[in-house]
Structure 1
Amino acid sequence: MSSEEYAPPKYVQIVQSIRRRIEDGTYAPGSLLPSETQLVKEFHVSRPTVVRALQVLQLRGVIEREHGKGSFVKAAPPVAVEENSRPGRAVLDRAEADENGVLVNAGAHPAPGSVAKLLGVPEKTPVMMRRVLFRDADRPIDLVTIWCLAELADGTGLGSSDLLAVSIRQHLQEAKGLKLEHVAERLSARHPSADEAKLLELRKTAPVLGVLASVYNGGGRPALVVDLVLPGDLHELEDAYSL
């Protein structure tokens, strides 16, 4: 199998390239990064791929983005931490419409046992399920399923067939005044289910990273469960912290 099959997703390659240029002084603190159009041409990718890379850099505190002005290198970029260090948070801060999202399904669905337990409801209780597949230019890169308590999903766009133009966290705050404050994640290495393998275009024996995250509101109650599936050959998780 060729090494190209194990290359990181295009947006990760852009993130890594920009980080290296910041570290070697090509992009000095406070300087303006190339425009989205320039990055699209340089890396030969789609605009959503560039937007996702810039969002990752912004979330990691490496750059600041100003509407109508562009993206600027922060004066003191933090210690490098890869974009998947907090996968649950990253999901909540992604805008589906900006990142090559493809809606798989959305609507009421009986909560499976593991999800029901995390949400604090009986198994098979009807909850809102929203599943979106994200693609790079070449292949699927992750599969996200959001499970939300029915009463919290009511009046939101989580059941809509349209891709969300803002992040789930921002959407819930705007639609319901719901503030998400805490995430608890559980990671596992496993094989994909038949549905996951089909959607992610993987062999049934391919390794995946599974992230099951409980998301709590400001009152400490579970509001969402994020089920994230990452192809093992495209992702690794890294963290940095003080002792």
Structure 2
Amino acid sequence: MTNAISFITIDKHNQVPLYFQVKESILSAIRSGKFLPGDKLPTEEELCKEFGISRPVVRQAYSELTAEHIIERKRGHGSYVKQMDIANMNFHHLVNFEEEMKILGKKPGTQLIRAEVVPYDTDIYQSLDMEKEDPCFMIVRVRYADCMPFSLISNYISLARFPGLDRFDFAVESLYRTLEGHYHTKIYKANRTMHSQIIDPTAANLLRVEKQTAAHIVTSVDFDCLDKPVGMSVEVFPGETHEFSFTVYRR
């Protein structure tokens, strides 16, 4: 067993799909610094032999990591951990904020603005498959990178599905880690959309930017491994300090 393979673990008795276990194990190794940008990953053949799994299982895990810009595949050379950059991190990578800043080499910070139950909103309730009588909990925070405002994020989540979530202090707690540790719910995927608009005056003050400037608004709906919606977020990025780039392929 090579050192690289020793960073990857799977459990065939677990109901979580094997390809997802491979993918999450690699992501965990990247987040913890075991795999660094530029490191070569085990080949499909090595993983199949080590864990007794089929090549399509490994191929799906690697394909999703490639599509999410986490690894890159070099023809004839193998798969490597990709260098991540701030322009693409939030849109392409499914990591919590602390992990995002750690990968980027920046010091994270959080200021809690509001945490409260909010009235019924059609878009939010439909996106989260919530019943009209279900209480919706909203968490609003300013994110900081090296003590500078990075973004303003509003999270929406059902207290019917996650009772007691409103008792946690999200000025210091990670929402992702709280869901995983206390509710055994892990985010598997997110559907994200982005649009641009003139920044809201309140957001401008919190993010310390001029009013009437452009902002990027990223809306995300997160799902668990059973494809059930977990939460929704709306994140505001100042247009003057953020850009998003994309690679597209001809089909």
Fold in common (TM above 0.5): yes
Quote the offset at 1:155 in angstroms: 3.1
2:143 is matched with 134
Distance, in Å, in 2 between the alignment partners of 1:121 and 1:127 is 9
Q: Alignment identity in percent? A: 14
Distance, in Å, in 2 between the alignment partners of 1:73 and 1:208 is 30
Distance, in Å, in 2 between the alignment partners of 1:124 and 1:207 is 36
**Is 1:160 aligned to residue 128 of structure 2?**
no
2:96 is matched with 93
Quote the offset at 1:115 in angstroms: 2.1
SS of equivalent residue, structure 1 residue 114: helix
Distance, in Å, in 1 between the alignment partners of 2:98 and 2:141 is 11
Q: Which of the residues 169, 179, 182 maps onto 1:175?
A: 182
Distance, in Å, in 1 between the alignment partners of 2:229 and 2:30 is 31
Quote the offset at 1:218 in angstroms: 2.0
One-letter amino acid of the counterpart of residue 115, structure 1:
I
Q: Which of the residues 13, 16, 39 maps onto 1:75?
A: 39
Distance, in Å, in 1 between the alignment partners of 2:31 and 2:189 is 24
**Is 1:110 aligned to residue 119 of structure 2?**
yes
2:156 is matched with 147
One-letter amino acid of the counterpart of residue 185, structure 2:
L
Distance, in Å, in 2 between the alignment partners of 1:234 and 1:61 is 30
TM-score scaled by structure 2?
Answer: 0.59
1:44 is matched with none
Distance 1:199 1:182, change over 3 A: same
Q: Specify the structure having the higher radius of gyration (Cα).
A: 2
2:225 is matched with 218
**Is 1:235 aligned to residue 203 of structure 2?**
no
CA contact (8 A) 1:208 1:230 kept: yes
One-letter amino acid of the counterpart of residue 164, structure 1:
V
Alignment: residue pair count: 181
Quote the offset at 1:82 in angstroms: 2.5
Distance, in Å, in 2 between the alignment partners of 1:195 and 1:91 is 27
Distance, in Å, in 2 between the alignment partners of 1:238 and 1:105 is 31
Distance, in Å, in 1 between the alignment partners of 2:247 and 2:181 is 32
Please identify, of 80-89 and 226-235, the stretch whose mean Cα deviation from structure 2 is larger. Answer: 80-89
Distance, in Å, in 1 between the alignment partners of 2:222 and 2:192 is 9
Distance, in Å, in 2 between the alignment partners of 1:183 and 1:191 is 25
1:65 is matched with 33
**Is 1:208 aligned to residue 172 of structure 2?**
no
TM-score scaled by structure 1?
Answer: 0.61
Distance, in Å, in 2 between the alignment partners of 1:176 and 1:89 is 25
Quote the offset at 1:120 in angstroms: 2.8
SS of equivalent residue, structure 2 residue 194: strand
Distance, in Å, in 2 between the alignment partners of 1:91 and 1:111 is 28
Structure 2 spans left out of the alignment, 5+ residues: 5-25, 41-79, 100-106
Quote the offset at 1:228 in angstroms: 0.6
Distance, in Å, in 2 between the alignment partners of 1:204 and 1:124 is 37
CA RMSD of aligned residues (A): 3.5
CA contact (8 A) 1:81 1:239 kept: no
